[in-house]
Amino acid sequence: MHIHILGICGTFMGGLAVLAKEAGHRVTGCDANVYPPMSTQLQAQGIELIEGFGPEQINLKPDLFVIGNVVSRGNSLMEEILNRGLPYTSGPQWIGEHILHNKWVLAVAGTHGKTTTSSMLAWILDDAGYHPGFLIGGVPMNFGISARLSGKMADSAFFVIEADEYDTAFFDKRSKFVHYRAKTAILNNLEYDHADIFPDLSAIETQFHHLVRTVPGVGRLIVNGRETSMQRVIARGCWSGIEWFGGAGQSGWTLIEQADGGFDVLFNGILQGTVAWPLTGEHNRMNAVAAIAAARHVGVQPAQAIDSLARFDNVKRRMEVRGVVDGITVYDDFAHHPTAVATTVAGLRKKVGNARILAVLEPRSNTMKLGTMKDALPGSLADADLVFGYGAKGNGKDALGWNLSAALAPLGAKAQAFDELDALVQAIVQSAQPGDQILVMSNGGFGGVHQKILDMLRQ
């Protein structure tokens, strides 16, 4: 089959392209901006890329057009496809029908932690000899790739997928994850996000319950017991096995933090083992317990999973050290929601003690651009010593529709806002002292600010 992918350079659609190529299909694609690293990764796979959405691309005569959710009505190529009545489908539906249809699918859903938990789960299964395929919205450093069909020549029966609640396509407003038909599903956490498509938290809970409805009776839900939103989702109806994690008492999966940063894992009050690893933060411990519980459903014993996590190398852009200059450490993190920002800052604080944290934030997600969460920003950054915000004034569609300086004002003199990247970098470097921790948080490339900071520090 020849498929032509519209919006191929996004993380999900790029991963889909790799899987389709591995599965033996001819793959071509297009996007508005075709540039490294995704372009080079795809071209290395022998995937032909076209810049833009020119309607002449119908002359490629693919068997099927696969549409990413970046494409909307009015897109010139999409309009031509519709006018001519050519066959098309969404990315999630194509994956569900052509990659996942005969797999034991382990889906990881939640507002936060999807990428990290998916990476942990894929690594646990791989280390236990299950050789799973996976599609993850980041690059697990244990694998060095974000997607693969299987871990060995023989096809694996297992597939781990990051299950996003964002909508499927302009013609399918259900969340992506309803297409995956998971047998094992982690429901990690749930709070309001994606303000561009969801009016309120209840609307997102409805989508999560759609996911619950797709899990078979022989399947299993691994659900965060600390989340009242998840309790409401399950209360709407549940037809499969369920195990809760992280809640109070001795039922389900619980954890006890140790002084050295490791933690004990218990199931129904019985000790399963102790995780010893370098990761910090309660969020990572919760992610790990969820992954251990999900792996148990396919037959991996908790002791084996706990041993595997000792060799888990995290994900790129999750507290990733980009460089150290004169005792000043620069980190890159994907945090893009106030809760994720607060969790990231708290995790670094616990790791570095009294060392100064210089938090550098680009509010870039659709929810943040709309200003829905701006009032929560000061509280999420309170534990940092200095705060540098970047609003990208006048940067077209990436510009904020609200005043970043005013939003950070409750933090007082320790916070500054900038709309010029060079001025931002200069202010950070002028403020930095040996021993400081510069924590850069964005869900985009942030104009290469990490390297700019490191280069100026060296100068």
Tens digit of each residue's pLDDT (9 = 90 or more) over 44-101: 888 999 999 999 999 999 999 999 999 999 999 999 999 999 999 999 999 999 999 9
Among 78-82, 142-146, 364-368, the range with the most confident prediction by mean pLDDT is 78-82
Q: Let me know if residue 95 belongs to a domain.
A: no
For strand 147-148 and strand 133-135, is the pairing parallel, antiparallel, or unpaired?
A: antiparallel
Q: Let me know if residue 270 belongs to a domain.
A: yes
- pLDDT, mean of residues 367-376: 75
Let me know: does 277 contact 262? Beta carbons within 8 Å: yes
* pLDDT grade for 35, boundaries at 50, 70 and 90: low
* pLDDT grade for 154, boundaries at 50, 70 and 90: low
How high does pLDDT run on average in the chain? 90
3-state secondary structure the chain: CEEEEECCCCHHHHHHHHHHHHCCCEEEEEECCCCCCHHHHHHHCCCEEEECCCHHHHHHCCCEEEECCCCCCCCHHHHHHHHHCCCEEEHHHHHHHHCCCCCEEEEEECCCCHHHHHHHHHHHHHHCCCCCEEECCCCECCCCCCEECCCCCCCCCEEEEECCCCEEECCEEEEHHHHCCCCEEEECCCCCCCCCCCCCHHHHHHHHHHHHHHCCCCCEEEEECCCHHHHHHHHCCCCCEEEEECCCCCCCEEEEECCCCCEEEEECCEEEEEECCCCCCHHHHHHHHHHHHHHHHCCCCHHHHHHHHCCCCCECCCCEEEEEECCEEEEEECCCCHHHHHHHHHHHHHHHCCCCEEEEECCCCHHHHCCCCHHHHHHHCCCCCEEEEECCCCCHHHCCCCCHHHHHHHHHHHEEEECCHHHHHHHHHHHCCCCCEEEEECCCCHHHHHHHHHHHHHC
pLDDT of residue 36: 65
Judged against a pLDDT cut of 80, whether residue 394 lies above it is answered with no
In a shared domain, residues 253 and 393: no
Tens digit of each residue's pLDDT (9 = 90 or more) over 412-424: 999 998 988 999 9
Which residue segment(s) compose the domain that 68 sits in?
2-89
pLDDT of residue 367: 66
In a shared domain, residues 44 and 105: no
Q: Let me know if residue 314 belongs to a domain.
A: no
Which CATH number covers residue 22?
3.40.50.720
Q: Let me know if residue 94 belongs to a domain.
A: no
In a shared domain, residues 76 and 160: no
Judged against a pLDDT cut of 90, whether residue 396 lies above it is answered with no
Q: Let me know if residue 350 belongs to a domain.
A: yes
In a shared domain, residues 178 and 51: no
Among 293-307, 369-383, 399-413, 425-439, the range with the most confident prediction by mean pLDDT is 293-307
In a shared domain, residues 72 and 121: no
Tens digit of each residue's pLDDT (9 = 90 or more) over 305-337: 999 999 998 777 777 889 999 999 999 988 778
Among 175-184, 401-410, 437-446, the range with the most confident prediction by mean pLDDT is 175-184
Judged against a pLDDT cut of 80, whether residue 355 lies above it is answered with yes
pLDDT of residue 432: 92
Which among 89, 118, 138 is the end of a domain? 89
- pLDDT, mean of residues 40-44: 83
In a shared domain, residues 71 and 104: no
Tens digit of each residue's pLDDT (9 = 90 or more) over 197-236: 788 888 999 999 999 999 999 999 999 999 999 999 999 9
Which among 287, 309, 331 is the end of a domain? 309
Q: Is the model more confident about 160 or about 316?
A: 160
In a shared domain, residues 120 and 62: no
